[in-house]
Amino acid sequence: MIKEEIIYGLHAVEEFVSSYPEKVNKVLLSSPRPNLERLLRTLGVPFQKAPLSRIESLCPKVNHQGVIALVSPLPYHDIEDISSEEKIILALDGIEDPQNVGAILRTAEAAGIKSVIIPSRRSAPITSTAIKASSGAAIRLKVIRTNSLPSTLEKLKGKGFWIVGSEINGALRYDTVDYPFPSILVLGSEGKGIHRTIQKLCDLTVFIPIYGKVQSLNVSVAAGIILYEMLKKIKN
């Protein structure tokens, strides 16, 4: 079991420190960061100045900005943590690129989503790379990791959630749908899409029209387009 992880980048470290100060073992800074240092002192989080070479050795080949935090692993949430007031939940099916996962989580948090479900297999976990790509948004979300995404979706269907799948060959154009709520929007990988077992659980599938020569949109872009359309339908 991993006992310590590295969070890197100024915004990601600030978000982690603010949300989980008790899980931060130490913050290393290669140069003065007055605002962050003030926060660390207020929360009683230990920090120290460190040569850039040390930070590079701990966190090579990434844009760490000279700021890293040595932390206990980010906790995952349970399905029971989903509030009955949540109108839209996001589920990721087979998205293995942590950069994509991070970008999706950033979009989801910006759209006001509270809970995101990811499978424990065939999916990128919430690593430091995903947290950095999300600009720290991953820390503010309830990320639920499940051993069986189909079983979790079935349980939520039993609680009144509708399952909406985003597919290249979806049945309905995304902006023509009168979305039912509460809903779970399921996004699949750009190459394979949603797995067949998940497709069978969908109450409806939607697609985004492509007018150029590319075959599909980046999944994080698709997430933003559909989520904001769903939000518009809630307000209407």
Residues 154-171 have a mean pLDDT of 93
Element (H, E) at 157: helix 149-158
| 200-234 pLDDT tens trace | 999 999 999 988 877 778 899 999 999 999 999 88
Residue by residue, DSSP assigns 73-132 as PPPPB-GGGS-TT-SEEEEEES---HHHHHHHHHHHHHTT--EEEEESSSS----HHHHH
The CATH number of the structural domain formed by 5-71 is 3.30.1330.30
Mean pLDDT of 81-92: 93
The neighbour count for residue 31, using CB atoms within 10 Å, is 10
Instruction: Round to whole Å and give the CA distance between 208 and 215.
Output: 11
Is the pTM above the cut of 0.85? no
- Asked: is 79-235 a CATH 3.40.1280.10 domain? The reply is yes
For position 176, what pLDDT does the model report? Answer: 95
Over residues 4-56, the pLDDT tens digits come to: 788 889 988 998 898 888 888 999 999 999 999 999 999 999 999 999 999 99
User: pLDDT for 124-149, tens place per residue?
Assistant: 878 778 888 887 788 889 999 999 99
The full set of domain ranges for the chain reads 5-71, 79-235
Residue 188 DSSP SS3: strand
Question: Which of these ranges, 110-114, 180-184, 212-216, 221-225, has the smallest mean pLDDT?
Answer: 212-216
